[in-house]
A and B are shown apart, each in its own frame.
Chain A
Amino acid sequence: MNNYQPVIGLEIHIELKTSSKMFCQCSASYFGKSANTQVCPVCLGMPGALPVANKKAIEWTILIGKALNCQINSFSKFDRKHYFYPDLPKGYQISQHDEPIASNGWVKIAYKDQAKNALTKKIFRIRRVHLEEDTGKLIHSKNGTLIDFNRSGVPLVEIVTEPDFDNSDDVKRFLEELQVIIRYLGVSDADMEKGTMRMEPNISLRYQKSKIKNQKLPNYKVEVKNINSFRFVKQAIDYEIKRQIEILKEGKTPLQETRGFDEKKVITYSQRIKEDASDYRYFPEPDIPPLVFTKEYLDSIKVPELPWQKVERYVSLLGIRYEEAFILTRDKNLSDYFDKINTKFKTQIANLNLKIQNPSQLIANYIVNKKISSQLPPDEFINKLIENLKPKEVDKNLLEEIINKVLKENQKAVLDYKKGKVNAIMFLVGQVIREMKGKVEARIVREEIERRIKR
């Protein structure tokens, strides 16, 4: 038992998949393209070139803000953030400083707590969502460093959380939920490996004197970069917590710094010491007029049903177990597929003489357990499902023969049943079904056996 409580906040970058870049007409899809082929004077930061903001990217940022339950600000603007780096051709990044498009939101996560076997729900606050441009890419080689500007100017959404996390599992769950939300919105592939989703955790620890929660933020924080999978995020955070506890135990304060993550050694390593906050000399971007959104415009941007809302609907309205509901909703296509089948099947089932307790759960089981392939068109899926549910034609003679055989071989069970051990019959039923290779319903077998034994 230690008295240190982790304080973790996240910065997440999402690259939008708009067709053109943030401030020019160049194609925003640069993956796999040869270097410096998707560029123009604007994204190369040439003398005299001017940015013109991409409307779609602004709309999508508002959509993300809404999906994360943020307040959408009716006034917003772009600012210049100055720093020197070879991949930043203007010497500043067009970003948003004090008037982000969205702020003060939250994301809900829910998961089955294995220990308690109960559903745990948690809320994590979103501080802000803003829009900016991506930078070029440095390519290091033996002969020197080259710059590829294909990525320069691709729209990038930055999502900043409050430091609400205290363990790496919650961070991982949150990121997975966020990724699913972004994919539902269809605004980005949010792929960690391809770098269309990037994240940097800020980690520090605070001393917990008593049970009363210490709310003060620690006087330092460590940022970890270069993490390209959810698994590595967890590993990096766990490593950092251990490392920082060691330092704190010695009575020292960990350095305020940026660290990288080495996925082979599963350690973090120092990259850059940050003595003070960087001075980015922010000021309003004079080349782009401020953004003013009307209520009508903001209202016209509609958020689709989100994964956590679907889970809640499946569980409470359709009576599906949480586990299946969760799996079904991880992929929008899969849950849409489920929704389609669920609606259709219910209309068809009325005409069939089938007794099904919860058709939605049944479909969910079939999809999740892959009893029927979800690659099939919905109609074919339903046909197969109905086929599976129809009462099976039973070979009466074979059944008779097998029941006789089973009863003969299990005299003890028969006796037990006769003595009043009701459960013994289930053993006999099971034996018969096994011999019949499942081609008979338990109900029929049971009735048949009961009839015999009584007689």
Chain B
Amino acid sequence: MLLGKSVTEILALIKNKKISSKEVIDYFLKRIEKYNKKLNAYLTVNRSYKSDGSDKIEMPVAVKDNFCTKGIRTTASSKVLENFIPPYESTVTRRLIDASFFILGKTNMDAWAHGSSTETSDFGPTKNPWDLSRCPGGSSGGSAAAVSSYLAPAAIGSETAGSIRQPGSWSGVIGLKPTYGRVSRYGLIAMASSLDCPGPLTLTTEDAAFILKIIAGKDEFDATTAPNEVPDYVASLKKKKKFIIGITDEYLNGVDGEIKEAFYQLVEILEKLGHKIKKIKLLSPKYSISVYTIIQRAEVSSNLARYDGIRYGNNRTFFGSEAKRRIMLGTYVLSYGYYDAYYKKAQKVRTLIIEDFKKVFKEVDMILAPTTPIATLKLKEFEKYPFFGEMMDVLNEPAAIAGICAISFPFGLTKKDNLPIGLQLMGRWFEEKNILNLTYQIEKETDFLGVIKEGVKNYPD
């Protein structure tokens, strides 16, 4: 009865007394029991739910393990925090709980969010629900896999550069990366502070809009949150707006043929729906890789300095090799005499990338591009290339660097391996409304070529 139902649908069932919150939570706990061993999507399952006998709505949601959850172990998938139980609640989870959500469990991720495959987790990799020999993407791989296999009706992830969209794409679900500053980072274990963005992974566009509305907005505990008003993202889905959509060859270079095909198929559909497609010129995403690598490593080396072995139990020998690599590189680029050559220069190029987007957004409302150059890889392929994550996130990094909003959604499967293909829309700063509106139109028109529903069906009750 519940299989594949969205958050919005389940909430309607609970409200109409068709089902109780307890039954819903028990349903997902049972599914987790059944499939999590195979997938390793959850690191910690919250079995503390007790009905108080009232009609209080408690809607289950999965949360990436880098959000501090009061009283629930939070590790960021690192052994350094193996036994860390936060004494406080992150703003995102606080707002979810206040809006009648129940934290079903904490999902696996790349340790400290360092990676694009969830293989750097100190608690073992998460498997891609579409093909257990492949990775789900990362770093929010556990969240993406949990939604894709319906071990949660929705999940919260976080993105620094691609960590929501890329696993969303590889696991065949919707991943929304809001504008930087739209959603509070308070209580999100920092990876790269000037880039980190919490966001939802969902089965429907409506759910993405619904959850964003709950978690977005100014937070007195995060000075980098924007005061911009939070619109009713769900209500604004209904009106079919017409947009000017930019496409660029820069984002198609080196992209797999089947993904390109899907891309052009969608372009045709969008034109048919009355939208205007416009060819644009954008800076090559390759510049973003260098900028991103330097800024992110620098901030990582600083943010991980607090795990000095004095608190939290486990000392620095518990850091995995990826974290060590990043700490060393970040320390190097911030060192005396190198700061100007690396960090400062990177910030200047970052400004250029932002200017480039500003210019383009004068001509178009949003940009359509593939989310990743290829579909998901076999497990362990990443280990061969320390910067492979950056290569897989090449199409995600410009938006992250510029801080704009973007959404990835599935659009068909590869013929060869039957793996999800993801496409993305990148919108202006604080115009989540628009990219959600168009994604909703695509969903209504194409049902994402059936990908999401098929994914859920692979995991029957």
Contact = CB atoms under 8 A, between A and B. Distances in A.
A195 to B, nearest CB: 23
Contacts of B304: 91
Interface in A45-66: 45-53
B194 interface: yes
Contacts of B152: none
Given A48-B68, A48-B187, A49-B186, A41 B87 contact: yes
A419 interface: no
Contacts, number: 97
Interface string A232-243: 000000000000
Contacts of A40: 88
A82 B310 contact: no
Nearest to B301: A281
Given A48-B188, A50-B223, A287 B311 contact: no
B225 to A, nearest CB: 10
A80 interface: yes
Contact of A279 (B88, B302, B308, B336): B336
- Kindly name the residue among A47, A53, A80 whose own CB sees the greatest number of chain B CB atoms within 10 A: A47
A82 B298 CA distance: 12
A277 to B, nearest CB: 8
Contacts of B98: none
B223 A47 contact: no
B343 A283 contact: yes
Contacts of B81: 47
Interface string B426-457: 00000000000000000000000000000000
A281 B331 contact: yes
B302 A80 contact: yes
Given A80-B302, A283-B339, A286-B194, A89 B224 contact: no
Interface in A74-110: 80, 82, 84, 86, 89-92
A281 B331 CA distance: 7
Contacts of B186: 48-50
Q: Which interface class (under 10, 10 to 19, 20 to 34, 35 or more) fits B?
A: 35 or more
Nearest to A280: B336
B222 interface: yes
Contact of A47 (B84, B192, B220, B310): B84
B74 to A, nearest CB: 7
A48 B308 contact: no
A48 B339 contact: no
B193 A286 contact: yes
Interface string B327-347: 000010011100100010000
Contacts of B301: 281
A289 B224 contact: yes
A200 B63 CA distance: 49
Interface in B270-324: 298-299, 301-302, 304-308, 310-311
A334 interface: no
Nearest to B310: A86
A288 interface: yes
A84 B223 CA distance: 26
Contact of B68 (A47, A51, A84, A283): A47
B275 to A, nearest CB: 36
A445 to B, nearest CB: 77
Interface in B46-89: 66-68, 74, 76, 81, 84, 86-88
A46 B88 contact: yes
29 contacts: A41-B68, A41-B88, A46-B88, A47-B81, A47-B84, A47-B86, A47-B190, A47-B306, A48-B185, A48-B188, A48-B189, A50-B221, A52-B220, A52-B223, A89-B306, A90-B305, A91-B302, A91-B306, A91-B307, A92-B302, A277-B336, A279-B335, A281-B302, A281-B331, A283-B302, A283-B339, A286-B193, A288-B224, A289-B223
CB-CB nearest 4 A-B residue pairs = A91-B305, A286-B194, A281-B334, A286-B193
Given A48-B186, A281-B334, A283-B343, 19 more contacts: A46-B87, A47-B74, A47-B76, A47-B84, A48-B66, A48-B67, A48-B68, A48-B185, A49-B88, A50-B221, A80-B302, A84-B305, A90-B306, A91-B305, A92-B305, A281-B335, A281-B336, A281-B339, A286-B224
